[in-house]
Amino acid sequence: MRKVYQVSSLVLACLATVAASAQSFRVQCPMTTGLHPGHSTDQGGIKCQQISGGDGYATMADGTQTYLFAFGPLSGLNDIAKGLPGTQRASVFLTPYDPTSAAGSDASNGAVGLVPDPDGSGGYTGHVDPRQIMDVGVMNGNMPAPMMAIDEDDEFFLTLSNVGMIMRPDLFEQHTVHFHGYPNASSFMTVCRMHQSPSILGEASLTTTWRPMRELISGIAISHRPNTCRWAWLDSSMCGRARID
Give the pLDDT mean for 126-138.
91
Give the pLDDT mean for 108-129.
87
Give the pLDDT score at 51: 93
Per-residue pLDDT of 82-111, as tens digits, reads 999 999 999 999 999 999 999 999 999 999
Question: Is 242 inside a domain boundary?
Answer: no
Question: Is 49 inside a domain boundary?
Answer: yes
Please state whether beta strands 88-89 and 18-19 pair in parallel, antiparallel, or not at all (unpaired).
unpaired
Give the pLDDT score at 24: 87
Question: Is 136 inside a domain boundary?
Answer: yes
Could you give phi then psi for residue 60, rounded to 5 degrees?
-75, 170
Buried b (16+ CB within 10 A) or exposed e, 53-78: bbbbeeeeeeeeeeebbbbbbbbbbb
Give the pLDDT score at 12: 36
pLDDT higher than threshold 50 for residue 10? no
Question: Is 192 inside a domain boundary?
Answer: no
Work out the pLDDT band at 134, boundaries 50, 70, 90: very high
Give the pLDDT mean for 31-58.
89
Per-residue pLDDT of 205-223, as tens digits, reads 888 887 775 544 444 444 4
Give the pLDDT mean for 101-126.
89
Question: Is 196 inside a domain boundary?
Answer: no
Work out the pLDDT band at 203, boundaries 50, 70, 90: confident
- Measure the CA angle with vertex 192, ends 171 and 181; round to 5°: 125
DSSP codes joined into one string, the chain: ----SBS--EEE----SEE-S--S------S--SS--S-TT-SS-EEEEEEEEEEEEEE-TTS-EEEEEEEEESS-HHHHHTT----EEHHHHTSPP-TTSPTTSGGGTS-TTB---TTTTT--SS-B-HHHHHHHHTT--BSSPPPEEE-TT-EEEEEEEE---TT-TT----BEEEEESSTT--TTT-HHHHS--EEB-TTEEEEEEE---GGG--EEEEE-STT--SGGGGGGT--EEEEE-
Name the percent of the chain lying above pLDDT 90: 31
Work out the pLDDT band at 169, boundaries 50, 70, 90: confident
pLDDT higher than threshold 90 for residue 4? no
Question: Is 143 inside a domain boundary?
Answer: yes
Give the pLDDT score at 111: 95
pLDDT higher than threshold 80 for residue 29? yes
Task: Tell me which residue range forms the domain holding 142.
Answer: 14-34+43-57+68-186+204-228
Per-residue pLDDT of 65-82, as tens digits, reads 888 888 899 999 999 999
Give the pLDDT score at 237: 67
CA distances from 179 to 87, 109, 117, 146, 172 (A): 16, 25, 31, 16, 23
Distance separating alpha carbons of residues 99 and 138, to the nearest angstrom: 16
Give the number of domains in the chain.
1
Question: Is 198 inside a domain boundary?
Answer: no
pLDDT higher than threshold 60 for residue 22? no
Q: What is the mean pLDDT of the chain?
A: 75
Q: What is the CA radius of gyration of the chain?
A: 17
Distance separating alpha carbons of residues 11 and 148, to the nearest angstrom: 10
Question: Is 121 inside a domain boundary?
Answer: yes
Give the pLDDT score at 88: 96
